[in-house]
């Protein structure tokens, strides 16, 4: 089965982004395929390499970045949502790319299931 993931929540607001990451890792560990992860609304903060969580917090930006770089997962940040929240090419973490909502639409077409995390 092919999955796409939509992340609408930031890495520090609640557990949705962490749950999305765990789901993505489970998909990759199984016989399934992960088409794309699309970051929208406050979810774009997951791509900000300038984020500095405290030492007792999990660094989700680094974890997502590693997933994209090491596993070859397509991590797409919505350009409009990113610009509104200060996430730009200049502060994008490795493994992420910026694009438009068309990438979300395409992911929904290519995948058998689009799973959303965050409100």
This prediction's pTM: 0.97
pLDDT at 81 over 90: yes
Q: How many CB atoms lie within 10 A of CB 86?
A: 12
CATH number of the domain to which 7 belongs: 3.40.1260.10
- Averaged pLDDT score across all residues of the chain: 96
Arithmetic mean of pLDDT, 82-92? 97
Amino acid 58: pLDDT? 87
Catalytic status, residue 111: no
Task: Print the domain residue range for 104.
Answer: 2-117
Which of 7, 37, 76, 78 is catalytic? The answer is: 78
What is the Cα 89 distance to its own chain's centre?
15
Tokens of 71: 């596993």
Amino acid 55: pLDDT? 86
Domain count, the chain: 1
pLDDT at 54 over 90: no
Phi, then psi, of 36 in degrees rounded to 5: -170, 155
Burial class of residue 46, CB neighbours in 10 A (0-12, 13-18, 19+): buried
């Amino acid at each position: 089965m092919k999955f796409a993931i939509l992340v609408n929540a930031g890495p520090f607001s609640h557990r949705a982004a962490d749950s999305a990451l765990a789901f993505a890792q489970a998909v990759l560990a199984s016989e399934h395929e992960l088409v794309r992860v699309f970051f929208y609304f406050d979810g774009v903060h997951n791509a900000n390499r300038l984020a500095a969580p405290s030492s007792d917090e999990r660094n989700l930006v680094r974890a997502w970045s590693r997933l994209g770089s090491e596993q070859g997962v397509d991590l797409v940040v919505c350009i409009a949502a990113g610009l509104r929240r200060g996430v730009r090419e200049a502060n994008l973490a490795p493994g992420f790319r910026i694009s438009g909502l068309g990438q979300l639409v395409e992911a929904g077409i290519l995948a058998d299931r689009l799973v959303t995390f965050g409100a």
